[in-house]
Amino acid sequence: MELKVNPTGRLRGELVIPGDKSISHRAIILGSLAKGKTLVRGLLEAEDCLNTIKAFQAMGVKIIKKSPGEYLIEGVGLRGLKEPEEVIDCGNSGTGMRLLTGLLAPQRFYSVLTGDASLRKRPMDRVIKPLTMMGARIWGREDKYAPLSIKGSVLSGLEYTLPVASAQVKSALLLAGLYAGGDLKLTEPGQSRDHTERMLKGFGVNLHKKDNRIFLDSKEEIRLYGQEINVPGDLSSAAFFLVAGLITGESEILLRNVGINPTRSGLLEVVKEMGGRIELLNQRQAGGEPVADIMVRSSYLKGIVIEGEIIPRLIDELPVIAVMASQAEGETVIRDAAELRVKETDRIRAIVRELSRLGVEIEELTDGMVIKGPSRIRGGVRVKSYGDHRMAMSLAIAGLLADDMIIIEDSRSINTSFPEFPGLLKQLFQ
């Protein structure tokens, strides 16, 4: 499948941003583990989350679609999951696979997790190692790659400092910790997204958190109670339109219902520092998360340095930030982002290659990149997405400025996180 993008002068309109992927995964998981019913509204109906729904259905959880984005989950309680008959396929989703590994390690049954070609190349040892320290029995190719086979075990507590700031590793350990015989004490080297902690608290789990330390006390009884959850829109999806509005001329876009959790909103800080005109309107809470409508207008941008503690708070937005930087005056330097190399593809290499093909002056660093702007974007070019949804969408945004149509190869991956993307982008053409 290919995505053809035509250049445009300006973008105008209002969009409602679909549900947050990270929060949707967690709502499905915790709703399944709760006692009683959980009603989720605004759930992201993209392949990644639909695979997580299928995984829980395969383990005996009734999950019923009531209307678009609205799902009723009949939770089975912490000990109510059943051994799945078949191998569980997590598709493209690192979040699905890593969180499930943590959850399946303490079950009283055997399970196998697999995924697509991209997911089978991503490191799972970052969850296997600490889970094994808790007593888990998990096997993978080269002790590291899926398919993973998991023989449920009795787990003990763990005191552990994560080697990288990763919400997926943290969340896998928290899920395992719900079943552990001892305390769980985690320290993060930097702040990663905290949706799991927020939602566990919402479901009634007494989790203690101070700075980058998290404590789950095994003396306290752990039980989750069914909830109503309104999933906010995904800032990582809004990011494409936000950048599109900033870099195209005379644009004005209102992005409605966007999650602005500070552990995720590094992009907004970067945009402001680069001189972007964005306004947060109608700030409110939804599903235990801060939400706003974001007004974005065409802007004159200048290059900046992006490094250090902000990186985990904007890690998924870096490909589209690179596109934005290509239109900023001067040099933008991105450092401390080596984690980008183990995402759905090596995103440092991919973005440097494909933006170069489009005529951008961009240089690869081991842990980031340097982009010089503003750059003309070459049209009439075919670019590769490497089967990575965020690469495909970032390149589409670059294409808005090209001097002719560009073609993005292998764009099917957009369905993993944002199937509405091409349609919504078209809506903004005026």
Enumerate the active-site residues: 316
Residues across the chain: 430
Q: In DSSP terms, which residues pair with 149 in a beta bridge?
A: 112, 139
Query: Position 98: which residue type?
Result: R
Q: Site for ligand S3P (CB under 6 A): which residue of 101, 111, 171, 248?
A: 171
Stretch that binds ligand S3P, among 155-163, 164-172, 239-247, 352-360 (CB under 6 A): 164-172
Q: How far is the CB of 167 from ligand S3P (least distance, A)?
A: 3
92 near ligand S3P, judged by CB under 6 A: no
Q: Residues with Cβ < 8 Å from 142, sequence gap 6 or more?
A: none
- Residue closer to ligand S3P (CB basis): 167 or 260: 167
22 near ligand S3P, judged by CB under 6 A: yes
166 near ligand S3P, judged by CB under 6 A: yes
- Residue closer to ligand S3P (CB basis): 57 or 191: 191
- Residue closer to ligand S3P (CB basis): 260 or 358: 260
- Judged by CB under 6 A, the chain residues 303 through 342 that form the site for ligand S3P are 315-316, 339
Q: Residues 293, 297, 298, CA angle at the centre, nearest 5°?
A: 150
Q: How far is the CB of 165 from ligand S3P (least distance, A)?
A: 7
Q: Which two tokens stand for residue 261?
A: 């959790």
- Residue closer to ligand S3P (CB basis): 168 or 227: 168
Which SS3 state, helix, strand or coil, does residue 256 take? Answer: strand
Stretch that binds ligand S3P, among 47-55, 166-174, 237-245, 249-257 (CB under 6 A): 166-174
Query: Position 17: which residue type?
Result: I
Q: How far is the CB of 251 from ligand S3P (least distance, A)?
A: 27
Q: In DSSP terms, which residues pair with 41 in a beta bridge?
A: 230
Q: How far is the CB of 192 from ligand S3P (least distance, A)?
A: 6
Stretch that binds ligand S3P, among 129-137, 162-170, 205-213, 375-383 (CB under 6 A): 162-170
248 near ligand S3P, judged by CB under 6 A: no
168 near ligand S3P, judged by CB under 6 A: yes
Give the DSSP per-residue string, 88-130: EE-TT-HHHHHHHHHHHTTSSSEEEEE--TTGGGS--HHHHHH
| CB of 258 closer than 8 Å to CB of 42 | no
Q: How many residues bind ligand S3P (CB under 6 A)?
A: 11
Q: Measured between alpha carbons, how far is 69 from 53 in angstroms, rounded to an integer?
A: 12
Query: Position 383: which residue type?
Result: V
Q: How far is the CB of 101 from ligand S3P (least distance, A)?
A: 13
If 0-12 CB within 10 Å is exposed, 13-18 middle and 19+ buried, where does residue 249 land?
Answer: exposed
Q: Measured between alpha carbons, how far is 132 from 118 in angstroms, rounded to an integer?
A: 24
Q: Measured between alpha carbons, how far is 57 from 55 in angstroms, rounded to an integer?
A: 6
- Judged by CB under 6 A, the chain residues 47 through 76 that form the site for ligand S3P are none
Q: How far is the CB of 49 from ligand S3P (least distance, A)?
A: 11
Give the DSSP per-residue string, 160-189: EE-SS--HHHHHHHHHHHTT-SS-EEEE-S
416 near ligand S3P, judged by CB under 6 A: no
Q: Site for ligand S3P (CB under 6 A): which residue of 167, 320, 370, 381?
A: 167
Site of interaction with ligand S3P (CB under 6 A): 22, 95, 166-168, 171, 192-193, 315-316, 339
